[in-house]
Amino acid sequence: MGILARFFGNRVRSQIENCRSGVSQTLAIFLCERYANQHGDWDIEKAAALAAAVTNELFGLPLSNAKGRAFLQVNGPLVETALRKIKDEPRICHIVSTFAHYAWQCRR
Protein backbone atom coordinates (compact mmCIF):
# COMPACT_ATOMS: atom_id res chain seq x y z
CA MET A 1 0.00 0.00 0.00
CA GLY A 2 1.38 3.45 -0.90
CA ILE A 3 2.31 5.98 1.70
CA LEU A 4 -0.68 8.21 0.90
CA ALA A 5 -3.07 5.30 1.22
CA ARG A 6 -1.53 4.37 4.57
CA PHE A 7 -2.10 7.84 5.94
CA PHE A 8 -5.42 8.67 4.34
CA GLY A 9 -6.91 5.25 3.47
CA ASN A 10 -10.46 5.39 2.18
CA ARG A 11 -10.41 9.16 1.79
CA VAL A 12 -7.78 8.89 -0.94
CA ARG A 13 -9.68 6.06 -2.64
CA SER A 14 -12.82 8.16 -2.62
CA GLN A 15 -10.96 11.12 -4.10
CA ILE A 16 -9.49 8.88 -6.81
CA GLU A 17 -12.97 7.63 -7.67
CA ASN A 18 -14.29 11.19 -7.82
CA CYS A 19 -11.41 12.17 -10.08
CA ARG A 20 -12.01 9.16 -12.34
CA SER A 21 -15.65 10.04 -12.55
CA GLY A 22 -14.85 13.63 -13.50
CA VAL A 23 -12.28 12.61 -16.10
CA SER A 24 -14.54 9.99 -17.67
CA GLN A 25 -17.59 12.29 -17.76
CA THR A 26 -15.59 15.12 -19.33
CA LEU A 27 -14.10 12.74 -21.87
CA ALA A 28 -17.55 11.34 -22.71
CA ILE A 29 -18.89 14.84 -23.37
CA PHE A 30 -15.89 15.67 -25.54
CA LEU A 31 -16.27 12.44 -27.52
CA CYS A 32 -20.04 12.87 -27.85
CA GLU A 33 -19.55 16.28 -29.48
CA ARG A 34 -16.87 14.86 -31.75
CA TYR A 35 -18.96 11.86 -32.83
CA ALA A 36 -22.01 14.05 -33.45
CA ASN A 37 -19.92 16.29 -35.72
CA GLN A 38 -18.21 13.37 -37.50
CA HIS A 39 -21.48 11.59 -38.16
CA GLY A 40 -23.82 14.40 -39.14
CA ASP A 41 -26.67 11.99 -39.80
CA TRP A 42 -26.61 10.65 -36.21
CA ASP A 43 -28.88 11.95 -33.51
CA ILE A 44 -27.28 13.04 -30.26
CA GLU A 45 -28.42 9.84 -28.50
CA LYS A 46 -26.37 7.61 -30.80
CA ALA A 47 -23.31 9.87 -30.45
CA ALA A 48 -23.75 9.85 -26.66
CA ALA A 49 -24.15 6.06 -26.60
CA LEU A 50 -20.92 5.61 -28.57
CA ALA A 51 -19.09 8.11 -26.36
CA ALA A 52 -20.29 6.35 -23.19
CA ALA A 53 -19.33 2.92 -24.51
CA VAL A 54 -15.85 4.09 -25.58
CA THR A 55 -15.24 5.91 -22.30
CA ASN A 56 -16.40 2.97 -20.19
CA GLU A 57 -14.25 0.54 -22.18
CA LEU A 58 -11.26 2.88 -21.83
CA PHE A 59 -11.64 3.01 -18.05
CA GLY A 60 -12.68 -0.64 -17.73
CA LEU A 61 -16.12 0.21 -16.42
CA PRO A 62 -19.32 -1.71 -17.09
CA LEU A 63 -22.14 0.03 -18.91
CA SER A 64 -24.68 1.09 -16.33
CA ASN A 65 -27.95 0.37 -18.10
CA ALA A 66 -29.63 -2.05 -20.49
CA LYS A 67 -29.76 0.51 -23.30
CA GLY A 68 -25.98 0.95 -23.15
CA ARG A 69 -25.37 -2.80 -23.05
CA ALA A 70 -27.67 -3.29 -26.05
CA PHE A 71 -25.80 -0.56 -27.95
CA LEU A 72 -22.46 -2.23 -27.21
CA GLN A 73 -23.77 -5.62 -28.28
CA VAL A 74 -25.05 -4.30 -31.63
CA ASN A 75 -22.22 -1.83 -32.27
CA GLY A 76 -19.22 -3.67 -30.80
CA PRO A 77 -17.01 -3.25 -33.89
CA LEU A 78 -17.80 0.48 -34.05
CA VAL A 79 -16.88 0.86 -30.38
CA GLU A 80 -13.63 -1.08 -30.89
CA THR A 81 -12.70 1.08 -33.89
CA ALA A 82 -13.42 4.29 -31.96
CA LEU A 83 -11.47 2.98 -28.98
CA ARG A 84 -8.44 2.21 -31.18
CA LYS A 85 -8.53 5.77 -32.56
CA ILE A 86 -8.02 7.15 -29.04
CA LYS A 87 -4.33 6.26 -29.33
CA ASP A 88 -4.04 8.94 -32.01
CA GLU A 89 -5.28 11.59 -29.57
CA PRO A 90 -2.23 12.78 -27.60
CA ARG A 91 -4.23 15.01 -25.24
CA ILE A 92 -6.61 12.21 -24.31
CA CYS A 93 -3.75 9.72 -23.91
CA HIS A 94 -1.89 12.14 -21.66
CA ILE A 95 -4.92 12.79 -19.44
CA VAL A 96 -5.82 9.10 -19.10
CA SER A 97 -2.19 8.05 -18.57
CA THR A 98 -1.63 10.70 -15.91
CA PHE A 99 -4.80 9.73 -14.09
CA ALA A 100 -3.94 6.02 -14.27
CA HIS A 101 -0.42 6.68 -12.97
CA TYR A 102 -1.63 8.66 -9.96
CA ALA A 103 -4.44 6.24 -9.23
CA TRP A 104 -2.00 3.33 -9.32
CA GLN A 105 0.52 5.16 -7.10
CA CYS A 106 -2.14 5.93 -4.49
CA ARG A 107 -3.45 2.37 -4.39
CA ARG A 108 -0.10 0.73 -3.80
Taking the C-alpha atoms of residue 82 and residue 102, their distance in angstroms, rounded to an integer, is 25
**Region 72-98: what's the mean pLDDT?**
91
Residue pLDDT, tens place only, 25-83: 889 999 999 999 988 888 899 999 999 999 999 888 887 789 888 999 999 999 999 99
pLDDT band, very low/low/confident/very high, at 107 (cuts 50, 70, 90): low
Spatial contact of 106 and 12, defined as CB atoms under 8 Å apart:
yes
pTM metric for this prediction: 0.78
What residue spans define the domains of the chain? 3-107
Report d(CA 73, CA 79) in Å as an integer. 10
Q: Among 3-12, 68-77, 94-103, which stretch is predicted with the lowest mean pLDDT?
A: 3-12
